[in-house]
Structure 1
Amino acid sequence: MSIRYLLSSRVCSVFLVCSVFLSCFPGLVISGAVTLKSMEIFKTHEWLHEKPTVYFRCQGENKTVLPDVKEVRVLYNFKGEESWQPLTDFPIKKCKRCGFYEEDNLSSDDIFEEWEFCPSDFSIPDGKYVRIKDKEFNATFLCPECLPFANASNSASDSHEGGKGMHVAVIILICVVVSTVSILGVVAAYKYWQKKKREQDQARFLKLFEDGDDIEDELGLGTVI
């Protein structure tokens, strides 16, 4: 029984630590889908002035063709529900190497721009990110789920030392909680063991008296009045 009680205490402490950790870092468990809200190209790279085939791609992922983007100096707006959406997603707080490109049938594809695309780029209040490349394009992205990353990044940039202090404080708090729960569990288990031991000692003591009475009865040594 005491071993089972200790295991239960340990399970409870692990659950408590996980809850505290996840509540302090909600951005670690989200996945942000990135959609394209608007797109405008300022020029094409085709010499024959053909309709361009513009696409978006992150390194290691499939390319996403933007079938509507054909004309220069036209602002295309999207609902985020198109069949080719979303462009990409951020399952973790990590940047990707992404860019806009234009297909070229004669040589390698032309590059509008490549850049480090990060979940922390998206700003409050609606999770919007505007990317402008001079003489190339103007694009607006949306990722509301990326806001926890952006908030964490902004807080760190505003007060880096304060962020470090908060991080250390959270770690200390977690250690204190784990230690407290573990100590309480051990103390409770020890008290439970002491209680069971006293009950067993009392039972053995009573059993000795009962055995002694039985022997006296058998020998006829009972008290004679």
Structure 2
Amino acid sequence: MPIRCTLNFRVSTVFLLVSTFLSCHSGGVESAVVTLDSIVIYKTHEWLASEPTVYFQCQGGNKTKLPDVQKEHVLYSFNGEESWQPLTEFESKKCKRCGFYEEDSIKSDDVFEEWEFCPSDFTAPAGKYVRFNAEEFNATFLCLQCTAYSNVTSSSFPSYDGEKGMHSAVIIVISVVASTVLILGMVVGYKYWQQKRREQDQARFLKLFEDGDDIEDELGLSEVI
């Protein structure tokens, strides 16, 4: 029994490590679900239909029809649990080309607006993003998981600037210290040179006296005196 427990523990540990490694290298944050929190449309484009069919779609994705959105200048609010939710999902921090459209029975569907829809658009902590078009609509999106991408994006540049500023500060400090050490070294060296020069002058002066005494001894002047 202890051997089987140890084996199961090792297998579980290996599985946990592999799962952690895959999650860390699969693009970072898990998929982020985007829901529609509210929307107001300012006009409709289909003249023949009494009730417009408004939908949301990202390039390469499925249509998400908004069955309740039928009248202009009416605020439609949602709780994220409707049958047609969510609108889309982000698998990474890469943006999508998305938009609001209205089905047209005669020609191609009408476009309220298309734009680059990005996870970094959502702000913490509420995880909301407002898309406003003065002539078409005002929509609020909700994505709590997207704030992880937003934090990474928004913090990457300040950290770079902080590192750059710190690097500059270190260079300045090193330059000041090096200059101070150089000046002190020059002062100490000059003082040492002055001291050695005085010692040499004193030694030379004493040697002159000694040489003068030797000359007097040779000439016998000291005895005469």
The TM-score range, normalised by the shorter chain, is 0.5 to 0.7
Q: Report the Cα offset of residue 161 of structure 1.
A: 3.4
Q: State how far apart, in whole Å, the 2-side matches of 1:97 and 1:70 are.
A: 24
Deviations 1:160-216 (A, max 9, x none): 434799xxxxxxxxxxxxxxxxxxxxxxxxxxxxxxxxxxxxxxxxxxxxxxxxxxx
Greater RCO, 1 or 2 (C-alpha within 8 Å, sep 6+) = 1
Q: State how far apart, in whole Å, the 2-side matches of 1:100 and 1:163 are.
A: 42
**Which amino acid in structure 1 is aligned with residue 90 of structure 2?**
F
Residue equivalent to 1:152: 152
What's the TM-score, normalizing by structure 2? 0.60
| C-alpha contact 1:95 1:118 (8 A) present in aligned 2 | yes
Residue equivalent to 1:99: 99
Residue equivalent to 1:79: 79
Pairs aligned (count) = 150
Would you say 1:70 and 2:75 are equivalent positions?
no
Q: How does 1:134-145 map to 2 (within 5 A)?
A: 134-145=134-145
**Which amino acid in structure 1 is aligned with residue 102 of structure 2?**
E
Q: State how far apart, in whole Å, the 2-side matches of 1:38 and 1:96 are.
A: 20
What's the TM-score, normalizing by structure 1? 0.60
Q: How does 1:189-208 map to 2 (within 5 A)?
A: none
Aligned-residue RMSD, C-alpha: 3.0
Q: Report the Cα offset of residue 97 of structure 1.
A: 0.3
**Which amino acid in structure 1 is aligned with residue 94 of structure 2?**
K
Q: Percent identity of the aligned residues?
A: 61
Residue equivalent to 1:109: 109
**Which amino acid in structure 2 is aligned with residue 145 of structure 1?**
Q
Q: Report the Cα offset of residue 30 of structure 1.
A: 1.5
Residue ranges of structure 1 left out of the alignment (5+ in a row): 1-11, 166-225
Deviations 1:36-73 (A, max 9, x none): 00011000112346211000000001100000000000
Residue equivalent to 2:183: none
**Higher Cα radius of gyration:** 2
Residue ranges of structure 2 left out of the alignment (5+ in a row): 1-13, 166-225
| C-alpha contact 1:27 1:149 (8 A) present in aligned 2 | no
